[in-house]
Amino acid sequence: MAMRDRRHRNRLPPADEPTLLAPPEDRFRRVPVLLPYPFAGPFDYRVPRELDPQPGDIVLVPLNRREEVGVVWDGPADRCVGDNRLKPLAAILDAPPMRADLRRLVDWIASYTLAPPGDVLAMALRVNALRPDSPPLGWALAQAPPAAVRLTEARARVLAVLADGHPRGTAALAEAGGASAAIIRAMGNAGLLMPAALPSLPPFGRPDPEHPGPVLARDQEEAAAALREATAARAFSVTLLDGVTGSGKTEVYMEAIAECLRQNRQALVLLPEIALSSQWLERFEARFGVGPAIWHSDLASRTRRLTWRAVAAGEAWVVVGARSALFLPFPDLGLVVIDEEHETAFKQEDGVVYHARDMAVVRARLCGALAILSSATPSLETVANVEAGRYRHLRLPARHGGATLPEIGLIDLRDAAPERGHFLAPPLVEAIRANLESGEQSMLFLNRRGYAPLTLCRACGHRMACPNCTAWLVEHRIRRQLQCHHCGRAEPIPPACPQCRAEHSLTPIGPGVERITEEARALFPEARLLVMASDTLPGPDSAAEAARSISAREVDLIIGTQIVAKGWHFPHLTLVGVVDADLGLAGGDLRAAERTVQLLHQVAGRAGRAEAPGRVLLQTFSPEHPVMQALLHGSLADFMAREADQRRPGNWPPYGRLAALIVSADTAEAADILARDLGRAAPHGEGLVVLGPAPAPLALLRGRHRRRLLLKTRREIAVQPLLRAWLDRVKVRGSARVDVDVDPVSFL
């Protein structure tokens, strides 16, 4: 990519050197430039006479002896730096300017989350997509390889991969050959490989809205018509598409995408787990004839760059992606779909802490687009917005094609206890056995990876804990490891108790999916098992392969973590057993009950999606709990109404606002001091309360000591000005820091 006017840069005197020739103030302009770093705001730069930067222009500017890419921002220059110390803008890049709606989104998110605007900008500015294009180079087999080179196994594998004559990039070749990038480069140096041009990626095809799709049932067609109309209005609005699992929500919102294409506008679909979306991609292609553009953080850098540019050029019409797709440079976005809007995966917890569902609605408003929130179990936040008249509500009350919702049963573990050391109660075992005998598929759900969540010494009672986190180590028997699921620490299972030195005394307590798999294998030796957990299905390909083998009936019993709850359509699955329905209720989180209902309802929704009716059995110690009763009677709306009644009086969200301050430091004392200072400086007033400071449930995380404070206000009080003033009153010293989480979802 050429850089306009770059050559002018060297003609100007370096602005940080005082010079007698510095022009008087009215002789040059200043512009604010926002840089993708955590500064408090944009910096002023001086505009060389030859340039005429406008807000949104992507520019190169000097910063600490380097040149950085930034964006000319809006508003007046701040004049913090005197004229004679002002540095000049180096160049305007020949790249599509960042449009006003995206700049407003960056400002909006920064101001809502209290994140530095540059950190938000960094999510929207793909610097690697802006730099000049290097021709894409990969590797091919050398035409005249040296004769006397020793071939290690890894090198031989790499050569074998290239034997088909197709050049590959370094990363792709390393992965396919099971070698490191360093090995590939060394092979290049040794003359075994030679550089070769890579074929360019095919352009994104234009999805065809008139490509024949399924014939919609009457209630589906009514909902689709309403969505088409809202899309054609080319104005901001929000619709909740609320339909039971298997009712055809996806097919219905595809019709809004079709209308968006007819309007010549771009569409964005956010999915909570893009890696688990092979079935969604197939359906998109079936509906529109070509696949969508895909966006997530694991894209190869070249694909990422091409996709980013295609979006900016309006050549990628439909993008499906993870939450980061929200920051793509769509020139004319007409529709944003947030599928499974209740999913907590939409909340980003690291870096800029934001909720992609809520920010998607903001982006839709800034673009004059329709936002569709789709779910069988809408969040209370969204339900409250419907009730307040802010969101339109469309319902799909029945499963498509006469499929019925599964019948739910509770297994009271107090009456029907599993055998000692086992976790599947006799009625569940019987039901699976019967299902296997009739040749149907079953699924066991337990939202816990590994073999056992706790390892205990039978001799002294010592529990194996993570030294860096307030957490037990989880046994992963297949890998013979104890792992911390918070910091990733892994250690071999010790032969003796580290406390009392007793040998063979460490005992696993409680089940994870590995242990359930072991139990199932012993009970049903003839069944073909498939484990679906994030560590057994590491990538999109393995998840797609799992989905294929289930659909092809190569699997009898699926055992999985929350991965299995995600939108899958397995037509032959007729029985779902939930090993521990009470699991999510512990912990006293504000939304524990709501989330448990959502998760279990989604899991249950995998059963009986085609002709054969489905059945779901929930193992619980508290069958009378409102969550179990709501699932048993399918009375989700009543349950949500009850939740609402419980949250309303105390101004709990969504009827009030919450913001969390998370203090962390290297030592407990430093954390306590800062937490105490924050407590003393806490805001006071009518309609607000500050809870804490208190040790966080994860009082130690990755070696940092953590304390929490929570600000709760009435809904009409904005928390941001309170938080800003509060943080300004307190000094943060040394290793300590405060992180702000507006609208917290996690309370750990």
Contact residue for Zn ion among 86, 129, 353, 469 (CB under 5 A): 469
Least Å distance between CB 369 and ligand ADP? 21
Identify which of residues 319 and 671 has a Cβ nearer to Zn ion in the complex. Answer: 671
For ligand ADP, the binding residues in 540-599 under the rule CB under 6 A are: 569
Give me the residue label for tokens 């894209």: 299
Identify which of residues 402 and 492 has a Cβ nearer to ligand ADP in the complex. Answer: 402
- Which amino acid would we find at residue 204? F
| SS3 state of residue 399 | coil
Long-range contacts, 178-187 (Cβ 8 Å, 24+): 178/154, 179/154, 179/155, 180/154, 183/154, 183/155, 183/158, 184/139, 184/158, 187/139, 187/155, 187/158
Cis amide linkage into residue 693, ω under 30° from 0: yes
Identify which of residues 258 and 698 has a Cβ nearer to Zn ion in the complex. Answer: 698
Contact residue for Zn ion among 466, 630, 658, 740 (CB under 5 A): 466
Least Å distance between CB 609 and ligand ADP? 6
- Which part of the chain contacts Zn ion (CB under 5 A), choosing from 23-31, 211-219, 334-342, 462-470? 462-470
Mask for 147-176, x = binds ligand ADP (CB under 6 A): ------------------------------
- Tell me the C-alpha to C-alpha distance, in Å, between residue 92 and each of 59, 121, 122, 613: 4, 18, 18, 63
| Residue 246 engages ligand ADP in binding (rule: CB under 6 A) | yes
Q: Which tokens in the block code for residue 722?
A: 């309170």
For the four alpha carbons of 649, 655, 659 and 660, in that order, the dihedral sign comes to positive
Identify which of residues 336 and 698 has a Cβ nearer to ligand ADP in the complex. Answer: 336
Helix axes 380-387, 636-647, angle to 10 degrees: 90
Q: Which residue intervals of 355-407 are DSSP H helices?
A: 356-367, 380-387
User: Could you say which of ligand ADP, Zn ion, none residue 247 binds, taking C-beta under 5 to 8 angstroms by partner kind?
Assistant: ligand ADP
Report DSSP state, residue 46. E
Contact residue for Zn ion among 29, 262, 422, 486 (CB under 5 A): 486
| SS3 state of residue 264 | coil
For ligand ADP, the binding residues in 380-419 under the rule CB under 6 A are: 400
Identify which of residues 63 and 487 has a Cβ nearer to Zn ion in the complex. Answer: 487
User: Could you say which of Zn ion, ligand ADP, none residue 436 binds, taking C-beta under 5 to 8 angstroms by partner kind?
Assistant: none
Q: Which tokens in the block code for residue 666?
A: 């290297």
- Tell me the C-alpha to C-alpha distance, in Å, between residue 146 and each of 152, 163, 188, 733: 15, 17, 11, 60
| Residue 138 engages ligand ADP in binding (rule: CB under 6 A) | no
Q: Contact at 8 Å (CB) between 652 and 590?
A: yes
User: Could you say which of ligand ADP, Zn ion, none residue 487 binds, taking C-beta under 5 to 8 angstroms by partner kind?
Assistant: Zn ion
User: Could you say which of Zn ion, ligand ADP, none residue 435 binds, taking C-beta under 5 to 8 angstroms by partner kind?
Assistant: none
Closest CA to 642 of 653, 656, 627, 621: 627
Identify which of residues 217 and 497 has a Cβ nearer to ligand ADP in the complex. Answer: 217
Return the ∠ at Cα 562 (arms to 635 and 589), rounded to 5°. 65
User: Could you say which of ligand ADP, Zn ion, none residue 219 binds, taking C-beta under 5 to 8 angstroms by partner kind?
Assistant: none
| Residue 484 engages Zn ion in binding (rule: CB under 5 A) | yes
Mask for 310-329, x = binds ligand ADP (CB under 6 A): --------------------
Least Å distance between CB 480 and ligand ADP? 39
Buried/exposed 6-37: b ≥16 CB within 10 Å, e otherwise: eebbeebeebeeeeeebeeeeebebbbbbbbe
Strand order of the β-sheet with 688-701 is: 688-701, 704-714, 656-665, 737-742
Distance of alpha carbon 307 from alpha carbon 321, whole angstroms: 11
User: Could you say which of Zn ion, ligand ADP, none residue 281 binds, taking C-beta under 5 to 8 angstroms by partner kind?
Assistant: none
Contact residue for ligand ADP among 32, 177, 248, 378 (CB under 6 A): 248
Q: Contact at 8 Å (CB) between 238 and 361?
A: yes
Identify which of residues 13 and 703 has a Cβ nearer to Zn ion in the complex. Answer: 703
For ligand ADP, the binding residues in 184-243 under the rule CB under 6 A are: 214-217, 220, 243
Strand order of the β-sheet with 481-483 is: 474-476, 481-483, 490-492
Least Å distance between CB 216 and ligand ADP? 5
| Residue 470 engages Zn ion in binding (rule: CB under 5 A) | no
E-strand ranges in 40-174 read 43-47, 58-63, 66-72, 91-93, 137-141
- Which part of the chain contacts Zn ion (CB under 5 A), choosing from 50-58, 137-145, 484-492, 586-594? 484-492
Say how many CA atoms lie within 13 Å of 172 toward its Cβ.
17
| Residue 468 engages Zn ion in binding (rule: CB under 5 A) | yes
Contact residue for Zn ion among 3, 140, 172, 487 (CB under 5 A): 487
Q: What is the largest CA-CA distance in the chain?
A: 93
Least Å distance between CB 398 and ligand ADP? 10
- Which part of the chain contacts ligand ADP (CB under 6 A), choosing from 247-255, 427-435, 454-462, 631-639? 247-255
User: Could you say which of ligand ADP, Zn ion, none residue 400 binds, taking C-beta under 5 to 8 angstroms by partner kind?
Assistant: ligand ADP
| Residue 245 engages ligand ADP in binding (rule: CB under 6 A) | yes
E-strand ranges in 572-614 read 573-578
| Residue 696 engages Zn ion in binding (rule: CB under 5 A) | no
User: Could you say which of ligand ADP, Zn ion, none residue 468 binds, taking C-beta under 5 to 8 angstroms by partner kind?
Assistant: Zn ion
- Which part of the chain contacts Zn ion (CB under 5 A), choosing from 141-149, 436-444, 459-467, 674-682? 459-467
| Residue 377 engages ligand ADP in binding (rule: CB under 6 A) | no
- Tell me the C-alpha to C-alpha distance, in Å, between residue 518 and each of 161, 270, 508, 524: 37, 36, 13, 10
Cα 735 to chain center, whole Å? 29
Instruction: Tell me the number of residues near Zn ion by CB under 5 A.
Output: 7
| Residue 32 engages ligand ADP in binding (rule: CB under 6 A) | no
Instruction: Tell me the number of residues near ligand ADP by CB under 6 A.
Output: 15
- Positions touching Zn ion (CB under 5 A) are 466, 468-469, 484, 486-487, 489
Task: Give the binding site for ligand ADP (CB under 6 A).
Answer: 214-217, 220, 243, 245-251, 400, 569
